[in-house]
Chain A
Amino acid sequence: MFSGLRDRLQAARNKLSESIGAVAEKAQPKPTVDSVKTSDAEPVMAKNPTLADKVRVLFIERELVVSEKDVSGALGDLEMTLLESDVALPVADALVTDIRTGLVGKHRKIGESVDTLVVKALKSSLLKVLGSGFDLPAYIKTHERPVKILFTGVNGTGKTTTVAKIGAYLKKQGFSVVIGAGDTYRAGAIEQISVHADRLGIKVIEHQTGADPSAVLFDTVQYALAHKIDVVLADTAGRFHTKANLMSQLEKIRRVMKPDLIIYVDEAVAGNDAVVRAAEFDRTIGADAIVLTKADMDSRGGAAISIAHTIGKPLLFLGTGQSYEDIVPFEPGAMVEELLGGGPV
């Protein structure tokens, strides 16, 4: 998973290191003539490190200053890399800018490897974006039961499958679970969730197709209260953020069942639109955490970066296949480590 993105990022990392390294080599053999000149040019202080600065640190402080020019080529490549990995355009822009400010003007000590400097900048930028992750079992343990979790998202991202997977995951962790079949619109949706739940031995509360989803989910919560169930998983019909009436239906669901967590489900293969719709869902209904499905389809995983950057919410799980075990809790530190390979942060 994400091996594609990892390869690309490592290529970008090497390129960055090379271009900075090349500058360092060029700068080093320059004789003292420059340092004489520098004293005259001293008053001209631009935003970029001037030659004077460079030479001074090189010869006096034995350091190198990275200038914008040194890295612009490699950063351009990095941006293309991010775009090819489905990181949305505005997010890619923001990331590259962040990395640039992280690099430019940095004093590199002669002893320190260029690589370390680059990896440091990349890692801190990515970690900033990906946030700190979300520990669901810990959350459930520390909150009043039943913990009510509402799943939202556009059509076909895999909400129903995710509900089943999370149900299986929580059951394995020792929690009791009930599922509310809140997708009363799509033909076959109730059958789909019932079959999943049967296989997993989880109780499903369902009404017939066309019923009010708020009522179904209200009943589910009542059932959980009466039977002292730990977790309520509320499935809903997929809807587009552009459909005002469906979004207000979702708002009604939120009003009626008062969820503790709203989980926004989207797919790892989504492109730029991931940003638009995630922002819109966050704005209208809110989102506390994200589940990214179909991560096995794609080795790029840029949508994870895009969505996390846009709504600034932690990623909870990654869906990585068709069976119930194919769900991985998301750990940003580990992911960044995997993406960029070794090297201290």
Chain B
Amino acid sequence: MMDTLSASLKDALKKLAGKAVVDRAAVDELVKNLQRALLSADVNVKLVMDLSKAIRTRSLDEELPKNTNVREHVLRIVYQELVRLVFATADLKLEPQVILMAGLQGSGKTTTTAKIARYFQKKGMKVGVICADTFRPGAYDQLSTLCAKINVPCFGDPTTTDARKIVREGLVAIKDLEVIIVDTQGRHALEPDLIQEIIDLNVITKASHRWLVIDAALGQQASEQARRFHEAIGIDGVIITKMDGTAKGGGAMSAVAETKSGIVFIGAGETIEDLERFDANGFISRLLGMGDLQALAEKVQEAQASTEIDMDAMMKGHFTLRDMYKQLEALNKMGPLKQIMNMLPMGNMQLPEGVYDVTSTKMVRYRILMDSMTPQELDDPSIISSSRMQRIARGAGGTPEEVRELIKYYKMMHKTLKGLRGAAGGKFNMQRLMKRFSGMQ
């Protein structure tokens, strides 16, 4: 199901490619497909409507940035709007703190508690866990077994039913530890007694963080539940669990929007190590079922940035190896040289096909060589003597000849840019430029 959705999303994007102006019908179709993709990923219906409205307005109203095509422009807007929703990363400091876990029944609080304990333990913190789940049979056994595996002290008392008492005693018993994680019983927003209990626990623990654990499969209910929890104790972070299934985690996105917090961790597996910090790009790619969103969005930005560098350098008549490195780096991210050439303000030069490939493999080598240079050498390549060349070559696992070739390439670029500057007034010396590029082969 998801595959066909992302396919239709891609189709809609394809229709935008090659258009000179933003086409209203094509944008509408894209927005429609996007809505369907997001709805199938369980994102809150109202959120989807707001989001698609924003994307539609921005796509149609914003001016097309220089050197980008319509498709990239719209895609970047889609990406930015989505990232805006989830990007508020919840802060995570390695300092003494008390973390209160909250969530619905069966969302994975206990497993996640142990995973977080492991996370802080690996960062070198002293961690302790309090089991305040006095309701579910076996809850204490589960948590203490998991904690025993990683040698984390676990405080609990399966014989009492008073969570408040356990937490009070627990805080005293393990007060020497730096990070204290309080696991609580699963509850939902329509249980007033339990909501009161977690409000009390929040007061007793003076928790520095109150994290809401959300099952990736949670549907439209996520917003409502998150809102109630937020009202009760002020959620400042969301953890998505069970991301190893096929669920997309759109519910968690709604929860984040509702609590105005960020996603702290993602749980994706049954072992204690299966906890990851949140990565907005990966999350959105999964949400939409297409992997190349970030790359494409970045490409546009890089393309804009790299032309800026060019212009700067040209105007100042100052071009160092560093600038060249930046260019090569941008180039590496953007893919084949051919595309870059189309983006540069020189117009579409028709170079023979083979030229590009050879050049791009060389460029990778050049980058490696430059990685072995000192800052001084990058700023002022003229100081590179033959002994420096030896050192650079050895550092990069290459030969001094390669370094020499790099310097030659740099000088050529330098001259080319000077040439461009000389021809200021809008007339680029195309022939000379082409000759120089092909001369490199």
Contact = CB atoms under 8 A, between A and B. Distances in A.
Nearest to B46: A84
Interface of B: 1, 36, 39-42, 45, 104-108, 110, 135-143, 145-146, 188-190, 215-222, 225, 241-242, 244-248, 250-251, 270
Given A86-B220, A89-B40, A273 B245 contact: yes
A270 interface: yes
A86 B223 CA distance: 12
Contact of A187 (B135, B141, B225, B242): B141
Contacts of A88: 40
Interface residues of A, number: 50
Contacts of A273: 42, 216-217, 245-248
Contacts of A156: 105-108, 215, 241-242
Contacts of A241: 245-246
A251 to B, nearest CB: 19
Contacts of A277: 217, 245-246
Contacts of A80: 45
Interface string A285-305: 000000001101110101100
Given A240-B245, A241-B245, A86 B221 contact: yes
B242 A271 contact: no
A335 to B, nearest CB: 19
A89 B5 CA distance: 11
A190 B138 contact: yes
A187 B42 contact: no
Contacts of B135: 322
B244 A240 contact: yes
A165 to B, nearest CB: 13
A274 interface: yes
Nearest to B216: A273
Contact of A158 (B39, B40, B106, B218): B106
B220 A188 contact: no
A188 B143 CA distance: 8
A271 B244 contact: no
A191 B42 contact: no
Nearest to B189: A297
A302 B39 CA distance: 14
Contact of B141 (A158, A191, A243): A191
A276 interface: yes
B219 A155 contact: no
Interface string A248-273: 00000000000000000001011111
Interface of A: 80, 83-86, 88-90, 154-158, 185-196, 209, 240-243, 267, 269-277, 280, 293-294, 296-298, 300, 302-303, 322
B190 A191 contact: no
A232 B410 CA distance: 79
A155 B138 contact: no
Nearest to A92: B39
B219 A302 contact: yes
Contacts of B143: 187-188
A189 B136 CA distance: 10
B142 A188 contact: yes
A302 B216 CA distance: 17
B142 A186 contact: yes
Contacts of A83: 39, 45, 220
Contacts of B218: 269-271
B145 A187 contact: yes
A154 B242 contact: yes
A294 B105 contact: yes
Given A89-B36, A155-B108, 7 more contacts: A86-B221, A89-B39, A90-B1, A155-B242, A271-B251, A275-B1, A297-B221
A268 to B, nearest CB: 8
Interface centre among A85, A190, A273, A277 (most CB of B within 10 A): A273
Given A187-B145, A276-B246, A302 B220 contact: yes
19 contacts: A80-B45, A85-B220, A90-B1, A156-B108, A187-B145, A190-B138, A191-B142, A193-B138, A196-B137, A240-B246, A269-B219, A269-B221, A271-B217, A271-B218, A271-B251, A272-B40, A273-B216, A274-B219, A297-B225
Contacts of B189: 297
Given A156-B242, A273-B248, A300 B221 contact: yes
A192 B40 contact: no
A90 B2 CA distance: 11
Interface centre among B108, B241, B245 (most CB of A within 10 A): B245
Contact of A157 (B106, B139, B251): B106
A343 B431 CA distance: 83
B45 A271 contact: no
A293 B188 CA distance: 13
B246 A271 contact: no
Contact of B106 (A190, A275, A280, A294): A294
B376 to A, nearest CB: 53
B190 to A, nearest CB: 7
Nearest to B215: A156
B307 to A, nearest CB: 42
Contact of A195 (B106, B137, B222, B244): B137
Nearest to A276: B246
A272 B216 CA distance: 10
A286 B254 CA distance: 33
Contacts of B40: 88-89, 272
Nearest to B148: A187
A270 B215 CA distance: 9
Contacts of B248: 272-273
Contacts of B270: 155, 185
A94 B424 CA distance: 64
Contacts of B251: 271
A191 B247 contact: no
B38 to A, nearest CB: 10
A196 B139 CA distance: 12
B241 to A, nearest CB: 8
Given A89-B39, A294-B106, A188 B139 contact: yes
A267 B106 contact: yes
Nearest to B247: A273
A104 to B, nearest CB: 23
Interface centre among B189, B220, B248 (most CB of A within 10 A): B220
B242 A296 contact: no
A188 B141 contact: yes
Contacts of A187: 141-143, 145-146
Given A269-B218, A272-B41, A302-B219, A189 B104 contact: no
Given A84-B220, A294-B106, A271 B140 contact: no
